[in-house]
Amino acid sequence: MQHIYLDNAATTPMAPEVIQTMTDQMQHDFGNASSTHWFGREAHTVMDKSRKILADSIHAQPGEMVITSGATESNNTAISQTAHARAALGKHIITTAIEHPSVLQPLKALEKEGFRVTYLPVDENGRIRLADFDAALDDDTILVTIMMGNNEVGSRMPIAEIGERLMEHQAWFHTDATQAYGLLDIDVKAQHIDMLSVSAHKINGPKGVGFLYRDPKVQFPALLKGGEQELKRRAGTENIAGIAGFATAVQLITSEEKARRQTKYLNFKKQIMTALDNANISYAINGDIRPDNVNHVFNLWLKGISTYALQTNLDLAGVAVSGGSACTAGSLEPSHVLTAMFGADSPRLGESIRISFGAQTTQEDIQAFIDTLLPIVKRLMVKQTVQ
């Protein structure tokens, strides 16, 4: 059976160039980057070169990058460590209702400790309103954490506008750029971002590696304590092969390539919508179609069709899509993102699927997906009418 992978917001396959880099690395440079002998120095050189590539990709300096095990660790560090470090200045944090659990869960823990968290609501397109942000910001605010692009619906947040508003404010500004990094040009200085989280496995790099950018003014105690790696900001022997693979993945995504992918993904959405229109299938998009969204994510409400039935039938036919985000799929919890957009009573919560495209996805894959989807939807529609 042909397998079609349309769950790239969950993770992406490693690019062949990344596998090559990592294989070479594992074969030749196994040293511990902290060792002072030749083997250690070789590993350290790889780290330095990779760190520079990662820093350049967001217009940062190598010394501002903390290499982590991925965006979960970056988000936890950026939120828990800075909130505790700044508690004397205030106890208020601003975020959105549609962040990833690796942002929301540390915030829930902080609330239990007495921090006050404002969860900005979103509109039906998954965007916050700047007026709500302005109303929430006060003298007690020490941290703002707002994602750059959403992993379930692909909406993009007004990051530069928020960065600008916080320039004269004490609050540090963190953004989870995990889904946006491979598609949007990021300039942490121009966008006034103080901290930024990224994960390699969403951009055809390896799993278990990512980074946290931090502006030099941002000081916090390490989450992982022990050795003096990462300028004492993150203890643990460095994952050299992973970091080198991450840097290779980054090098494959030039600014032109990002723009090319954005257009390609937008066209995939149009191809799917045209097919649904032509087949007279009743659907709506959860979110909106805008060229400046993170376009690899496409969340579709197929009216009257259960998410579970559709996802299972697609899986049996060889097509992988998601019923929500990978982190909540599998549990029967409705998506907190769709709940924030449409309310807890919306039928969309149980009748939507997330399709997400990747660098390797072709137009033929999309056609094969459509050819699989349409008969399944028609069959499920009949079944539900009969019941």
- Is 320 annotated as catalytic? no
Smallest gap from residue 352 Cβ to ligand PMP (A): 17
The string of DSSP letters for 344-386 reads TT-GGGGSEEEEE--TT--HHHHHHHHHHHHHHHHHHHHHHHH
Nearer to ligand PMP by Cβ, of 21 and 151: the residue is 151
Q: Which residue, 334, 298, 319, 297, is CA-closest to 377?
A: 319
Q: Which residue, 270, 266, 341, 352, is CA-closest to 311?
A: 352
Smallest gap from residue 378 Cβ to ligand PMP (A): 32
Rule CB under 6 A: is residue 151 a binding residue for ligand PMP?
yes
Rule CB under 6 A: is residue 71 a binding residue for ligand PMP?
yes
Smallest gap from residue 234 Cβ to ligand PMP (A): 14
For residue 259, the SS3 value is helix
Of 222-251, which residues contact ligand PMP (CB under 6 A)? none
Rule CB under 6 A: is residue 12 a binding residue for ligand PMP?
no
Smallest gap from residue 347 Cβ to ligand PMP (A): 25
Q: Which stretch binds ligand PMP (CB under 6 A): 77-85, 171-179, 182-190, 335-343?
A: 171-179
Nearer to ligand PMP by Cβ, of 71 and 184: the residue is 71
Q: Where are the alpha helices (DSSP H) in 239-362?
A: 240-251, 255-278, 307-316, 336-342
Q: How many residues bind ligand PMP (CB under 6 A)?
A: 15
Nearer to ligand PMP by Cβ, of 199 and 311: the residue is 199
CA distances from 210 to 137, 239, 321 (A): 30, 11, 24
Nearer to ligand PMP by Cβ, of 77 and 307: the residue is 77
Query: Mask: binding to ligand PMP, 331-360, rule CB under 6 A, as x and -?
Result: ------------------------------
Of 180-199, which residues contact ligand PMP (CB under 6 A)? 199
Smallest gap from residue 42 Cβ to ligand PMP (A): 27
- Which residues, at least 6 apart from 133, have a Cβ–Cβ distance to it below 8 Å? 94, 120, 162, 165
CA distances from 85 to 138, 140, 226, 279 (A): 19, 14, 19, 57
Rule CB under 6 A: is residue 152 a binding residue for ligand PMP?
no
Rule CB under 6 A: is residue 86 a binding residue for ligand PMP?
no
Q: Which of 87, 327, 368, 381 is catalytic?
A: 327
Owner of token pair 């916080």 = 166
Rule CB under 6 A: is residue 178 a binding residue for ligand PMP?
yes
Q: Which residue, 363, 61, 52, is CA-closest to 213?
A: 61
From the CA atom positions of the chain, what is the Rg in Å?
Answer: 22
Rule CB under 6 A: is residue 100 a binding residue for ligand PMP?
yes
Rule CB under 6 A: is residue 293 a binding residue for ligand PMP?
no
Count CB neighbours of 116 within 10 A. Answer: 14
Nearer to ligand PMP by Cβ, of 91 and 354: the residue is 354
Smallest gap from residue 157 Cβ to ligand PMP (A): 11
Specify burial of residue 126 (Cβ count, 10 A radius: 0-12, 13-18, 19+).
buried
The answer to whether 139 and 116 are in contact (CB under 8 A) is no
For residue 65, the SS3 value is strand
Smallest gap from residue 148 Cβ to ligand PMP (A): 9
Rule CB under 6 A: is residue 210 a binding residue for ligand PMP?
yes
Structure tokens, 70: 């991925």
User: Could you list the residues that contact ligand PMP (CB under 6 A)?
Assistant: 70-72, 75, 100, 102, 147, 151, 176, 178-179, 199, 210, 326-327
Residues identified as active-site? 327
